[in-house]
Amino acid sequence: MAKVLLGFMGSGKSTIARGLDPDFVDMDAMLEERLGMSIARFFEEKGEAAFRQVESEVLDDLLKTDQVVSTGGGVVISLRNRVLLKQNADNIYLKAGFETLYQRISADKDNQRPLFLKNSKEDLAAIFKERQAWYEEVASKVIDVSKLSPEEIIEELR
Ligand code: S3P
């Protein structure tokens, strides 16, 4: 069964996945390979709906494996994805409050997420609020990452 890291942008999914298994699969990186361009550019050229379609296809493939997977924060938007995750993966939700996440997302100049660029802080907070219930619904384990170091989180998940 795949071990899947879930959570909003900036929650540290890739860092924790790497700590659990250096051979983890980064869904965003895999998507960029499949799309043949950056996620930001794909959003601009084809739109979010087209991105979500490919994201679901990649998820389907990964759920047939036993790998550690770091997902993109929007993977839980789709009901179908949520059902598939619940049935086929061990799901860990890396939980943190919006202000903590917003600071991290804004400070991350190497990864300028399209949803950050095109939404006001208020709109992003609304997206966060809507998704929280979905992360909780899918998770078999919830871990509050705001007060723990990556090493402590990895230790707890081992
Ligand atoms: C998204 C999160 C991103 C990436 C895309 C959409 C989202 O991944 O998949 O920009 O909808 O929250 P990270 O959560 O790894 O930043």
> 99 lies in which domain range?
2-157
Q: Is 28 in the pocket of ligand 1 (CB under 6 A)?
A: yes
Cα 92 from Cα 142, distance rounded (Å): 6
27-74: pLDDT as tens digits: 999 999 999 999 999 999 999 999 999 999 999 999 999 999 999 999
Q: Is 12 in the pocket of ligand 1 (CB under 6 A)?
A: no
* Number of structural domains the chain divides into: 1
What's the pLDDT at 158? 87
Q: How many angstroms is it from 72 CA to the middle of ligand 1? A: 4
Q: How many angstroms is it from 137 CA to the middle of ligand 1? A: 19
The CATH number for 28's domain is 3.40.50.300
Q: How many angstroms is it from 122 CA to the middle of ligand 1? A: 18
Q: Is 7 in the pocket of ligand 1 (CB under 6 A)?
A: no
Q: Is 9 in the pocket of ligand 1 (CB under 6 A)?
A: yes
- Best residue among 93, 113, 131 to mutate for probing ligand 1's pocket (most ligand atoms within 8 Å of CB) is 113
Nearest ligand 1 atom to the CA of 70 is: 15
95-149: pLDDT as tens digits: 999 999 999 999 999 888 999 999 999 999 999 999 999 999 999 999 999 999 9
